[in-house]
Amino acid sequence: MSSNDKQIIQINNLNKWYGDFHALNNINLTVNEGEIVVICGPSGSGKSTLIRCINYLEKFQEGEIIVDGTSIADDVKKIRQVRSEVSMVFQHFNLFPHLTILDNLTLAPIWVHQNKKEDATERALALLDRVGIKDQAEKYPNQLSGGQQQRVAIARSLCTSPKIMLFDEPTSALDPEMISEVLDVMVELAKEGMTMVCVTHEMGFAKKVADSMIFMDEGQIIETNKPDEFFKNPESDRLKLFLNQILDK
């Protein structure tokens, strides 16, 4: 998928500590524009921490992260710049319960990107249609099912026209029968050329759309490979063990 060589995310020698605990150990990673990267690994391996560093929800002590030319630092302008180009979909959706679905979507376009209300509403409704929720626009998040809420969350992330989308275990909190409706939307996005970095356990999804697989354990990147090789010929022992555990089901 990624014939374009433009590096849109560069992570160099990233190190992060929680107090004494070394959470991310010398991470080096590049993501090209339009690339789909899937990160997997056992819990506690630092996968979520890593992608949350990309939009500065987590701070890091050593190394650098460059997103579309901007090097992330504790600087309000830079952070705002990065966050306007990077969107995140959370495991627990994090929709704003006191606002309607429509207001959830138009909030950022109006208040962050200075869009006109009419334009924002039009775009929001179009996106809701795209994820299949158009007729729920005036409802409140708690009136929707989990799968519907997550699709709304994806639509909300798309409203700000991001260049990169981060997915933090987007289907882990869903009941099994709702997982596929969310994955279908994500596959659509992948096919349209969105740059995506996903932390997920859904290997079927990964096999279908990933350009690059990354395996993490204990805060380090252990192995990366193209999906075919990754699943068929895992090199490291830890990856072999991990694949045995999850693919056995």
Partner 1 sequence: MATYELKNKKNPPISEIGVIKWLHENLFSSLFNSILTLFALYLLYLIIPPLADWLYFGAEFGNVTNDQCTREAACWTYIGKKINLYIYGFYPEEHYWRIHLTFALVAVFSFIPRLFKNNPHRFKLIAFLFISYPILAFYLLYGGIGLEVVETHKWGGLTLTIIIAAVGIVASFPIGILMALGRQSKMKVIRFFSVLYIEFIRGVPLITILFMASVVLPLFFSEGIDVDKLLRALIGITLFQAAYIAEVIRGGLQAIPRGQYEAADAMGLSFFQKTSLIILPQALKISIPNIVGSFISLFKDTTLVLIIGLFDMLAIVGLSTSDVNWLGRETEGYVFVAFVLWIILYSMSKYSKNIEKRYNTELDKEKL
Partner 2 sequence: MKNKANFLSNYLNNNEIRAFLFQAITVVAIFYFFYAAFDNMFDNIAARGISTGYGFLDDESGFNIAESLIEYSSASSNLTVFYVGILNTLLVSFVGIIFASVIGLLIGIARLSSNWLIAKLANGYIELFRNIPILLQIVFWYNILLINSPRSIKDSANVLDLIFINSRGFFMPKPIFEFEFLIVFLFFLAGLVGRFFIKKHYNKLRDETGKSTNTFFHSLLLVVGLPLIVFFLLGSPIQFSYPEVQGFNFAGGMNLSLEFIALALALSIYTATYIAEAVRAGIESVNIGQKEAAYSLGLTKTQSLKMVILPQALRVAIPPIINQYLNLTKNSSLATAIAYPDLVGTFAGTVLNQVGQAIEIIIMTMLVYLAISLFISFVLNVVNAKLSIKGR
Site residues, partner 1 (CB under 8 A): 15, 17, 19-20, 22, 25-26, 61-62, 212, 218-226, 229, 235-236
Shortest Cβ 219–partner 2 spacing (Å): 21
Answer yes or no: are the C-beta atoms of 25 and 15 closer than 8 Å: yes
At 92 the three-state DSSP class reads coil
- Nearest CA to 154 among 122, 209, 196, 117? 196
Shortest Cβ 164–partner 2 spacing (Å): 12
Rule CB under 8 A: say whether 60 interacts with partner 2: no
Give the whole-angstrom CA distance, residue 57 versus residue 149: 22
Shortest Cβ 63–partner 1 spacing (Å): 12
Beta bridge partners of 22: 17
Binds 245: which of partner 1, partner 2, none (CB < 5-8 Å by kind): none
Choose, by CB under 8 A, the member of 17, 22, 63, 107 that binds partner 2: 107
Maximum CA extent, the chain: 55
**Would you give the binding string for partner 2 spanning residues 147-166, x where CB under 8 A is met?**
---------xx--x------
Shortest Cβ 198–partner 2 spacing (Å): 15
Q: Which helix (H) or strand (E) holds 191?
A: helix 176-191
Structure tokens belonging to residue 17: 């500590």
- The half-sphere exposure of 175 on its side-chain side, counting CA atoms within 13 A, is 7
Shortest Cβ 171–partner 1 spacing (Å): 21
Shortest Cβ 229–partner 1 spacing (Å): 7
Could you tell me where the beta strands, DSSP code E, fall in 33-175?
A: 36-40, 62-67, 70-71, 86-89, 164-168
At 20 the three-state DSSP class reads coil
Rule CB under 8 A: say whether 227 interacts with partner 2: no
Amino acid letter for position 92? H
When the beta carbons of 11 and 154 are compared against partner 1, the nearer one is 11
Shortest Cβ 117–partner 1 spacing (Å): 35
Structure tokens belonging to residue 35: 């690339």
When the beta carbons of 170 and 234 are compared against partner 1, the nearer one is 234
When the beta carbons of 86 and 216 are compared against partner 1, the nearer one is 216
When the beta carbons of 167 and 230 are compared against partner 1, the nearer one is 230
Rule CB under 8 A: say whether 117 interacts with partner 2: yes
At 67 the three-state DSSP class reads strand
Rule CB under 8 A: say whether 174 interacts with partner 2: no
- Nearest CA to 201 among 173, 229, 181, 163? 173
Q: Which residues bind partner 2 (CB under 8 A)?
A: 55, 57, 80, 83-84, 86-88, 90, 92, 94-98, 107-108, 110-119, 139-144, 156-157, 160
